[in-house]
Amino acid sequence: MQIRPPLSVAVALLIALLLGAIAGAQAAATITVSQHGLVFNQSALTLNKGDRTVFTNEDDVIHNIHIFGPGDREKDLGLQKSGATLSYTFGQPGDYMVRCNIHPSMRMSVTVR
Ligand SMILES: [Cu+2]
């Protein structure tokens, strides 16, 4: 004769597995990077794939964020007026360089894991 666990035990195990899977999945974060005094407030940033970065322009001048990623991937976020915010989601793991096209000394590195 086969011994079978009661259905309630099987359901409880299934729920525990599902909750574990949900807890293990990392929610995407939003990180704010400010541009103030012609510098990024962080020189190096480590993010998880899918995290969103919000760039704020706290200067009185226009900036132009340009992102260079792995595999010659690049993205020009365009002109950013004083007080404006732009966001970018780093979708692929790798090493990125972020700079301002107008002020080339403004640079930061981003590592996406
Ligand atoms: Cu700039």
For the stretch 27-45, pLDDT in tens is 889 999 999 999 999 999 9
Ligand 1 center to 70 CA (angstroms): 23
pLDDT (mean) for 104-110: 97
How much distance in Å is there from the Cα of 33 to the middle of ligand 1?
13
72 C-alpha to center of ligand 1: Å?
A: 22
Q: What's the whole-model pTM score?
A: 0.77
**Residue 64, domain member (yes or no):** yes
Q: Is residue 22 part of a domain?
A: no
Domain count, the chain: 1
Residue 77: pLDDT over 90: yes
Ligand 1 geometric centre to CA of 99 (Å): 8
Residue in 84, 88, 50 with CA at minimum distance from that of residue 68: 88
Report if residue 1 sits inside a domain.
no
- Position 18 pLDDT exceeds 70: no
- CATH at residue 99: 2.60.40.420
Residue 94 φ then ψ, to 5°:
145, -175
Output the CA–CA distances (angstroms, integers) from residue 8 to 3, 11, 21, 103, 112, in the order listed.
Answer: 15, 5, 20, 64, 43
In a domain, 103, yes or no: yes
Up-side HSE of residue 20: CA atoms within 13 Å toward CB? 6
* pLDDT higher than 90, residue 112: yes
Is the residue at 9 inside a domain?
no
Residue 26 φ/ψ, nearest 5 degrees? -85, 130
Domain with 83, as residue range(s), is 28-112
Structural domain contains residue 3: no
Q: What is the pLDDT at residue 72?
A: 80
Report how far residue 36's alpha carbon sits from residue 56's, in angstroms, rounded to the nearest whole number: 9
Q: Tokens at residue 29, please?
A: 């974060």
